[in-house]
Structure 1
Amino acid sequence: MLYFLPTPIGNLDDISKRCLDILNLCDIIICEDSRVTKSFIKLLNSRYNLDIKPSEFYSLHTHNESEFFAKFEVSKLIEKIVVYVSDAGMPCISDPGVSLVKFAQKNSINYEVLSGSNALLLAVAASGLVEKEFSFLGFLPNNGKDRDIALQNALNSPYPVVIYESPKRVFELITSVAKMEPNREIFAIKEATKRFETKFKDRAQNLAIKLKNANLKGEWCVVIAASNIINQEKITISDIDELDISPKQKAKLLSKLTGKRVKEIYNQLTNQN
């Protein structure tokens, strides 16, 4: 049987009794980084007087998926108690565990996902910006045009948008929003559930000033308020296709609407003619 177990995102006491019971019985642990997971197991054994002793550890991450699934024996998922844990938080949310879910489904393997700590939902609940719908984008591209396009799409969303961000890029993220839409409301939380958890909520231009000299260490979750321009009639791809303008201009407009590269769209348009 395969179990996907959420791990605490900062506070060790957030682990559930059910997770502890399964860990105490498991034969195999699949994880992102075995060093991180072994340290985590050591802390649990010490804190809760347990004797968690899996016989095998396997690493599964974005760089070894093909190799992992080519070698891992499917029979182990049937005959043994196998646990997948992410480094922190809910498995399969911006996490390679999703590939293991697909593998289990493809091979008709029974699996169960337990509920638990999740930075995404914690930030949504704490933000005061989400009443119902929201969009989750995970981590944006690190830099370059892809990042600019992703951020513009986020700002165009009719729903609040949730983004994970590293301490190295969070200030750049906020200042970028401040330049594009200085009055857009933003909620940001760092080190969620930890001793030095800190929350920020302000308009982008004000938040950029606050973060300039702040301690940015720790993982961040950012919630950007929905675009106010949600009741206007939306421009569609068909609307742009019908415009009597040059392919180059049309490609630029379609790029902003779809997020695709201008050159790719331009080539498609010219090949059609």
Structure 2
Amino acid sequence: MLYFIPTPIGNLSDISFRSLEILKICEIIICEDTRVCKSLISFLNSKFNVQIKPKKFISLHTHNETQFFKNITLDFFDKNIAYMSDAGMPGISDPGSSLIKYALNHNLSYEVLPGANAALVALVSSGFCKKEFIFMGFLSNKGKERQKDIEKLLNNPYPSIVYESPKRILSLIETIVNLEETREIFIMKEISKKFETKLRANAKDLFEILKNTNLKGEWVVVLKEKDQEEQMNFLCEKDILELDLPLKTKSKLLSKIYGKNSKELYKKLLLSQDGIKY
């Protein structure tokens, strides 16, 4: 059986009793980083006085996925195998999702255990969520793609969650200030650890606070949803197509919405004008 086991995101006691019991019977542990995983297993054995002693640790990450799946056969999964991410819920912004797809494609039995998740802890702590929310994981690192991700983040109709590194958290908030300084934001780091940090303010004030804050640690950022009145004023594709504007202008407006090349959209608009649906 293949088990996907959530790992503590801060406090070792976040591990579940069931997870410990399953880890004791697993012969192989697949993980992002074998050094991190071996260290975690050692801490768990010591703290909870258990005997977790897998015969083998195998790494699976974005750089070796192709080779990993090329080297294994289906009988490999006849054993009890655990997949563990470095921290948190497997499959959420980590390579575990590729292993899930492999199991589904090959009709392999697997089980995902419930457990610690930084995104949900931050969302509930923010007080922004009533029912719906959007999780966007890590944004693009740089360039136009990152700018598009941030603009999309600001236009989401529900509270939105992103993960951010200590190297980019200040620049992320600064970019949001330049686009919408009054947007309410909640940020959190060191979740369930001794020095857990929670901050909530509008983008402008939060940026000033962060300038004098220790930024070390992985951050979870939760943006309050776009104001309903602003959402109602937001143009959609149908609105733009109905405007009495030149096609080139319409294509530029559509490119802003979809992040696509305006010249390609212009060609499609020309085809649609000639009766060819785009």
Is this contact kept in 2: 1:76–1:82, CA < 8 A? no
Given the alignment of the two structures, is residue 211 of structure 1 paired with residue 210 of structure 2, yes or no? yes
Change (3 A) 1:21 1:202: same
- Aligned-residue sequence identity (percent) comes to 52
Paired AA for residue 26 in structure 1: C
1:8-47 alignment to 2 at 5 Å? 8-47=8-47
Q: CA–CA distance in 2 between the matches of 1:263 and 1:122?
A: 43
Write out the 4+ residue segments of structure 1 that deviate beyond 3 Å after TM superposition.
241-248, 261-273
Q: CA–CA distance in 1 between the matches of 2:58 and 2:249?
A: 51
Change (3 A) 1:213 1:242: same
Indicate the residue corresponding to 1:119 in structure 2. 118
Matched residue of 1:211: which SS?
helix
Is this contact kept in 2: 1:159–1:225, CA < 8 A? yes
Could you tell me how far 1:236 is from its partner in structure 2?
Answer: 2.8
Question: What TM-score do the two structures reach when normalised by structure 1?
Answer: 0.94
Indicate the residue corresponding to 1:222 in structure 2. 221
Could you tell me how far 1:248 is from its partner in structure 2?
Answer: 3.7
Indicate the residue corresponding to 1:237 in structure 2. 237
Q: CA–CA distance in 1 between the matches of 2:263 and 2:163?
A: 29
Could you tell me how far 1:238 is from its partner in structure 2?
Answer: 3.2
Change (3 A) 1:56 1:268: farther
Could you tell me how far 1:169 is from its partner in structure 2?
Answer: 0.5
Deviations 1:88-107 (Å, cap 9, x if unpaired)? 00001111111111100111
Could you tell me how far 1:182 is from its partner in structure 2?
Answer: 1.1
Change (3 A) 1:262 1:141: farther
Change (3 A) 1:248 1:144: farther
Matched residue of 1:61: which SS?
coil
1:192-211 alignment to 2 at 5 Å? 192-211=191-210
Could you tell me how far 1:267 is from its partner in structure 2?
Answer: 5.5
Given the alignment of the two structures, is residue 250 of structure 1 paired with residue 250 of structure 2, yes or no? yes
Change (3 A) 1:271 1:71: farther
Deviations 1:48-72 (Å, cap 9, x if unpaired)? 2222111122111112111111111
Q: CA–CA distance in 2 between the matches of 1:184 and 1:91?
A: 31
Question: What TM-score do the two structures reach when normalised by structure 2?
Answer: 0.92
Deviations 1:176-211 (Å, cap 9, x if unpaired)? 111211111110001111111110001111010000
Matched residue of 2:158: which SS?
coil
Deviations 1:135-172 (Å, cap 9, x if unpaired)? 11101101111111111111111111111000000011
Q: CA–CA distance in 1 between the matches of 2:207 and 2:21?
A: 45
1:46-195 alignment to 2 at 5 Å? 46-77=46-77, 79-195=78-194
Q: CA–CA distance in 2 between the matches of 1:59 and 1:217?
A: 26
Is this contact kept in 2: 1:33–1:87, CA < 8 A? yes
In structure 2, the gaps of 5 or more residues are none
Paired AA for residue 94 in structure 1: S
Matched residue of 1:132: which SS?
coil
Matched residue of 2:232: which SS?
coil
